[in-house]
Chains A and B, each alone.
Chain A
């Protein structure tokens, strides 16, 4: 379904010929190859549909004109920034893709602790601009290479620092949004006074339709600029590094400590998290290196901190008696950063931290107290710059299990989940055999605690078709297990109802059938109504999950009968 020349010319008029292309060299590159992305629906060996054109808007007004044009010609569209995840890509053939790369500005209001960010301002750049002002931002667990705006408006957006900084939704202040019908909405103070500091109201918050738990995944138009709440940073204007590339380490962070806590039991783990929330001791808390796998995590840190070592050295390093002993000790672990805004603050937090560990019988890992390792961990966690370690072992991974957001529900199930994965690793070859438990996640998903991140890493080879198929089968297996435990969808299938395995959008009939059994059908019925009100031409895909209201269905049926 090629675009009309008229449509394409109009796009050129809006953004300039240099910023639009329908050349296959460009359009084919804006298809998500799902085995190479954490799509939370795969891993499948499919591609999302090819956009009819890719357009690079440079400002909000251009975005608005593009969206209005799409409405006029009934052409679908989706905007994305970093194109890492499948959520950002279109879902049908008659669509164009907006790449927001040209909109990359970030400004910091230091006094009021606010940053305004355009779509292509990524976590790393927003953070460094904040740090210049003694401030910091929550970076989603996905890593600092991801767009702050996309993480705030488009997807879930919690991360290691959420325990002290909250989830992206909580930090989101004013938002500028081009609705699916082309109208521009500026929330809260932005709409009325051009100020960014409050995104709620007036009256009931229109923001309700832009950002729930998952963010809109591009289904409610195009978010063009946001303001976020910043948080205190007790360090230098940027984190100085030492060491040879790429084994950099943080230098000179006097007010920051990094620890790995070893818990005696999963019960102690859950209780420890609860106490971390309550005593506000953690700047950041994340089970990080376990993502490599329980058996290999310490050996991996050893390899990653020594430039001369490579993965081929893994078996040997794993057998090193010291490394092995350290690894065994931190079977149940979490990495924690404690930061003091003053000397007294640091002293209190250290004491409180130690008191918690004593109370639950946990201790600090000796391995991670080595200055070189501690400084590596500090840099890793504070800047969250190495998302690609997610892929370093085998080239691809998919998040899996998800378990329960309540640490007290999930923790007792961890060994059973780990055993299930370990068994698969031993009886199949498609998934990396790393010791079953490869869970990674933030100690808190929301400000001050209460939800917890659980994501097992299923490492597979995106080049190897057998590996892709096998990892997919494994996620089918864990999905069964999750359902059996009453825990809902496996994380590897979170988006399975937003995009079909072939990469395309669902039809309304398909969505209706999927959601017929919802315990509270309003969950899907109201989004249908919201879509009809704000996206009358249905141009932005099916990440907005909807179910036709019964009264509309009845009317449709009656109409059909009448026609007959």
Chain B
């Protein structure tokens, strides 16, 4: 009881949870990896409390697992991998601390969600660059820190854009700001009074601290605010679509479009994934799969505050021309899927009911990694062959390909829906996702976000990088209190 007493002393009784039912809910996820229900769930209200918790954890050698989103857990990174861990639930820290139109900057706490943030940003004619149809309750900060791909890679000059500065309490209990915010006092209000809006994310000296919390699955420290670069909201917008029978048919167009930077959003879906996004239920998904083309490339064009129509028209015509030159017909919709409808679906949070990838069969497994566009067909072929070998229906495999960082790399994601009520189906999908992961790694797929078993697959490929990572973990989390078991080989 000493543990609970300590936590209660720090956070108050209401913010320390040990109800087994609630604890169990924090252990549920789509991951098959070894997991445990947390010992306690604590709900800090501010950064000072987070710092106190981490210092306490260091003293007591208690594992901490941060979580900021609510709802279904998709990857298992916020579920304890070890027993007797304390989950630090930041979803209640929902303050939007600052919105600055001049620099298009926003500072938010980790519990802030997309719909919440966009509603606030809309008041100043801005929007946060989003990911593909985020789940209900998705923390924007977690989404960005975990480098979930943005729909618009053209405003990602940096790999981690729109992430800029953060406040972090490292595993050793040190709380600090990063980037330009680290050069000044650890007080946002003072910084704002000096017109410092936490824009510049590097350094401020030689070390890029914020990079150490990215893709870390909470294993380095706990972020208590992040500054993000917003975009000006489009006044006129169209998501154009073009169809293809084969993935390879899209390559030259996408490369050329990326070269021009004319698109806003740009991504590729196969028919199954497009159906998963649009379908309200399994039946509708099946119907859509009947009519949708095998492959769709979606290209957004926007006009914003300055001569929006002129920009929109120029970009639209050019992209249509480029598509035509590359054998594609770029238009406002394909089959019975309109670009506008698709855009609406992907840019807002999911309903909060069954997660959209689970609608078709009840559950799903995802395998995703980074590659280059020209290599994506190789992965596709390999995945289909594995699926065929294992008897998994290839037509159910959802594919989402998203350029990142101005097209430097491409997120390639395979979604395997399955029936969770069938032990055989579950076993098969487990085998499938494991085999696909191994095959992808063998083919050069890069698990930059190595969740679960991918950590072993990826980190074992490069002993030197692992050595650097271990040394850095030793510096910033010397007692290994931050989400132990993650990023483990």
Contact = CB atoms under 8 A, between A and B. Distances in A.
Contact, chains A and B (beta carbon distance below 8 A): yes
Nearest to A410: B195
A351 B307 contact: yes
Interface in A172-229: 173, 179, 183-189, 191-193, 195, 197-209, 211-217, 219-220, 229
Nearest to B103: A450
A215 B204 CA distance: 10
B465 A450 contact: no
B157 A166 contact: yes
Contacts of A81: none
Interface string B200-229: 101111111111111111011000000001
Given A193-B444, A198-B408, A202-B459, A527 B205 contact: yes
B180 interface: yes
Interface in B218-276: 219-220, 229, 232, 255, 258-262
Contacts of A451: 199-200
Interface in A232-268: 232
Nearest to A185: B464
A415 interface: no
Contact of A205 (B186, B215, B217, B467): B215
B84 to A, nearest CB: 24
Interface stretch (A339-347, A387-395, A455-463): A339-347
A221 B177 CA distance: 27
A207 B475 contact: no
Contact of B306 (A195, A212, A352, A522): A352
Given A198-B446, A200-B159, A523 B462 contact: no
A212 B232 CA distance: 28
A116 to B, nearest CB: 13
B314 A347 contact: yes
A543 interface: yes
B406 to A, nearest CB: 6
Interface stretch (B42-50, B291-299, B448-456): B448-456
17 contacts: A195-B372, A201-B214, A204-B212, A204-B213, A207-B211, A208-B212, A342-B318, A348-B310, A352-B307, A405-B180, A446-B199, A448-B229, A520-B176, A520-B177, A526-B207, A526-B475, A527-B206
B2 interface: no
A562 interface: no
A356 interface: yes
Contacts of A184: 464
A336 B12 CA distance: 58
Contacts of B468: 179, 185, 206, 209, 534
B431 interface: no
B306 A187 contact: no
Which of B161, B444, B468 gathers most chain A CB within 10 Å? B468
B97 to A, nearest CB: 18
Interface stretch (A106-114, A124-132, A473-481): A106-114
Given A206-B468, A409-B195, A212 B208 contact: yes
Contact of B211 (A202, A204, A219, A446): A204
Nearest to B184: A519
A184 B461 CA distance: 14
A448 B306 contact: no
A501 interface: no
Residue from A355, A450, A488 having most chain B Cβ neighbours under 10 A: A450
A447 to B, nearest CB: 2
Interface stretch (A15-23, A40-48, A273-281, A364-372): A273-281
Interface in A375-408: 404-406, 408
A300 interface: no
B283 interface: no
Contacts of B464: 183-186, 191
B158 A166 contact: yes
Contacts of A544: 206
Contact of B260 (A170, A201, A342): A342
A347 B313 CA distance: 11
Contact of B462 (A167, A192, A352): A192
A486 B194 contact: yes
Given A186-B465, A278-B232, 5 more contacts: A112-B374, A200-B448, A202-B450, A208-B211, A520-B176
Given A219-B206, A450-B200, A188 B448 contact: yes
A483 interface: no
B370 A203 contact: no
B338 interface: no
Interface of B: 102-105, 147, 155, 157-161, 174, 176-177, 179-180, 182-186, 194-197, 199-200, 202-217, 219-220, 229, 232, 255, 258-262, 304-307, 310-311, 313-315, 317-318, 370, 372-374, 405-409, 444, 446-450, 455, 458-459, 461-462, 464-465, 467-469, 471-472, 474-476, 487
Interface in A296-351: 341-342, 344-345, 347-348, 351
Nearest to A409: B195
A214 B206 contact: yes
B215 A202 contact: yes
Given A170-B157, A197-B372, A207 B208 contact: yes
A200 B206 contact: no
Q: Of B373, B406, B408, which is in contact with the most chain A CB atoms at under 10 Å from its CB?
A: B408
Nearest to B185: A519
A201 to B, nearest CB: 4
Nearest to A359: B306
B207 A530 contact: yes
Given A200-B159, A519-B184, A206 B310 contact: no
A344 B318 contact: yes
Give me the 5 closest cross-chain CB pairs, A-B, nearest first: A447-B157, A213-B203, A212-B203, A191-B462, A208-B211
A92 to B, nearest CB: 19
B89 to A, nearest CB: 22
A191 B461 contact: yes
A123 to B, nearest CB: 18
Contacts of B261: 232, 280, 341
A495 to B, nearest CB: 11
A533 interface: yes
Given A201-B449, A220-B206, A448-B155, A209 B472 contact: yes
B412 to A, nearest CB: 13
Nearest to B202: A213
Contacts of B260: 232, 341-342, 345
B69 to A, nearest CB: 19
Nearest to A157: B202
A212 B206 contact: yes
A280 B262 CA distance: 10
A271 to B, nearest CB: 9
Nearest to A532: B475
Contacts of B182: 520, 522-523
Nearest to B161: A447
A113 B459 CA distance: 27
B475 A203 contact: no
Nearest to A346: B314
Given A200-B214, A533-B471, A523 B205 contact: yes
A166 B206 CA distance: 18
A213 B407 CA distance: 23
A173 B215 CA distance: 16
A217 B207 CA distance: 12
A356 B196 CA distance: 25
A229 B313 CA distance: 28
